[in-house]
Amino acid sequence: MENGGYLIAAFGAIWLGIALYTAWVGSQTAQLRRDLSSLRDLLRDDQTTRG
């Protein structure tokens, strides 16, 4: 394939870029899930203490 290196680099860059961005959003989402879970635990503890 003529100039195959440029072709592979271009498509590789696109899918690597999209995959890295998706992975970053996924890691942020996982962190958010943990934060929400902690906040819910705090709420529950607060309710129990007041109850």
Q: Which residues bind another protein (CB under 8 A)?
A: 1-4, 6-7, 9-11, 13-14, 17-18, 21-22, 25, 28-29, 32-33, 35-37, 39-40, 42-43, 46-47
**Segments in the chain forming alpha helices (H):** 4-50
Minimum Å distance from CB 4 to another protein? 7
Contact 7, 1 (CB under 8 A): yes
Q: How far is the CB of 38 from another protein (least distance, A)?
A: 9
Least gap, CB of 46 to another protein (angstroms): 6
HSE, side-chain direction, 13 A CA sphere, residue 19: 6
